[in-house]
Amino acid sequence: MLMDGLTAGPPRRSSVAVAAFLVWMVAVLTAGAPSARAADITGAWATDVRACDKIFQKKGNVLTLTNRSDTLGGGFVIDGTEIRGKTANCKIKNRREDGDVVYLLAACATDIMLSDVEMALKVIDKDRVSRFFPGLPDVESPDYYRCPR
């Protein structure tokens, strides 16, 4: 039944109320969502943070390992998509994170060969990681500490 130009049917909600409800729903749904921020693994990593200045050297704008770095415990450098070690240089082909573990697939080159290497870093805190190789669970590796810049 129509009365004074009004149509019969369900009542209309104001667009302000609908917008407010949508904003509230988004806030509720995202309040408990985990952060999607990627782990920061960039930097120079050494087994002994006190020996960083003896393990790493700067050649131009590139941080490399010194000739005697392996006698001091060793380390590696992650710079963007590059990983530099004492005997190999690698290019990260794939990176995946699962909780506090960063899985890396890298194409690595040594003086005598090229190969793909799978490795993972368990992020213990922002300045400490534990390296392991997913395909070789029995291979133990020491923890690595981020060197100060």
Percent of the chain with pLDDT over 70: 75
Domain spans of the chain? 43-146
Lowest-pLDDT choice from 24-38, 96-110, 129-143: 24-38
pTM listed for this prediction: 0.71
Q: How far is CA 22 from CA 14, 32, 39, 50, in A?
A: 13, 17, 31, 53
CA distance 132 to 109: 19
The reported pLDDT for the residue numbered 78 is 96
pLDDT at position 26: 39
| pLDDT above 60: residue 22 | no
Cβ neighbours around 5 below 10 Å, total? 5
Rounded to whole angstroms, the Cα distance separating 149 from 130 reads 20
Pull the structure tokens for residue 69: 């770095």
Q: pLDDT tens digits, residue range 30-82?
A: 334 444 567 899 999 999 999 999 999 999 989 998 988 888 888 999 999 99
**pLDDT one-digit tens code per residue, 80-106:** 999 999 999 999 999 999 999 999 999
pLDDT of residue 25: 38
Task: Note every long-range contact of 23-29, with CB atoms under 8 Å and residues 24 or more positions apart, other chains counting.
Answer: none
Token pair for 48: 């002994």
CATH code that applies to domain 43-146: 2.40.128
Distance CA 86, CA 77 (A): 10
